[in-house]
Amino acid sequence: MIQPHWRLEQLETFITEEQIQQRVAELGAQISEDYRGKDLLLVAILKGSVVFLADLMRHITIPHSVDFMATSSYGAATRSAGIVRILKDLDIPILDRNVLIVEDIVDTGHTLNYLRRMLLSREPASLRVVTLLDKRARREVDVPLDYVGFEVPNAFVIGYGLDYAEFYRNLPYIAIPKEGFFDEPPEE
Ligand code: PRP
């Protein structure tokens, strides 16, 4: 059995649940205003964005639909070369639709840069991006961000969709690991 890594006492809260909920409500209100009377399609990038998407869409008060994409990099070297693998493509065409990409975090920018170019080639009516977190200090390629929740420093952040070894996505807040968090467990 896979042993879950679960060290909540070695985490420092960086953005509280209240701060996130307030900001997500603001983003939802702004998006509702900007897309009023338009056909809106949210495209969420799995898996990190699911928690943000679930909250954000409940604050979007205009009719909209949702679709998903999944990506994976081939590894650090190829990612920095801008090569992204599509594990799951959209289910529906986006021609003439107003597409809003939903991301949890933009780091180097390579994933988003690749996705934007790919989706633009399908000729949507418009293409914008909302990201909960912007780790601007790490950017390697310039990508336009239309809606940003919070800027974060160049630190490892987890929670609210973001994982460490696939765990911690369910935390309702964003945290930064303290010393010892990544240590190997002591021998039994
Ligand atoms: C994260 C995030 C973005 C990407 C950003 O996904 O959700 O898609 O990395 O990194 P970049 O700006 O350096 O390209 P990740 O590959 O960790 O997958 P996950 O969402 O399934 O955890």
Given CATH 2.102.10.10, say whether it is the number of domain 8-177.
Answer: no
Asked if 147 and 130 count as a contact pair (C-beta separation under 8 A), the reply is yes
From the candidates 107, 134, 142, 183, which is the catalytic residue?
107
Closest C-alpha among 94, 48, 92, 95 to residue 71: 48
107: annotated active-site residue: yes
Ligand 1 mean position to 11 CA, how many Å?
21
| pLDDT, mean of residues 55-66 | 98
Residue 71 CA to residue 20 CA, distance in Å, equals: 25
CB contact at 8 A, 86 and 69: yes
Token pair listed for 147: 């809606």
Pocket test for ligand 1, best of 73, 107, 119, 138 (most atoms within 8 A of CB): 107
Report helix, strand or coil for 54. helix
Where is 35: in which H helix or E strand? Answer: none
Residues with CB under 6 A from ligand 1: 45-48, 103-112, 163
Is residue 68 over pLDDT 80?
yes
The pLDDT of residue 83 is: 77
**Average pLDDT of the residues in 95-113:** 97
- Number of Cβ within 10 Å of residue 113's Cβ equals 18
Q: For 4-16, what is each residue's pLDDT tens digit?
A: 899 999 999 999 9
Nearest Cα residue to atom 2 of ligand 1:
105
Closest C-alpha to 56, from 46, 47, 44: 44
pLDDT exceeds cutoff 70 at 79: no
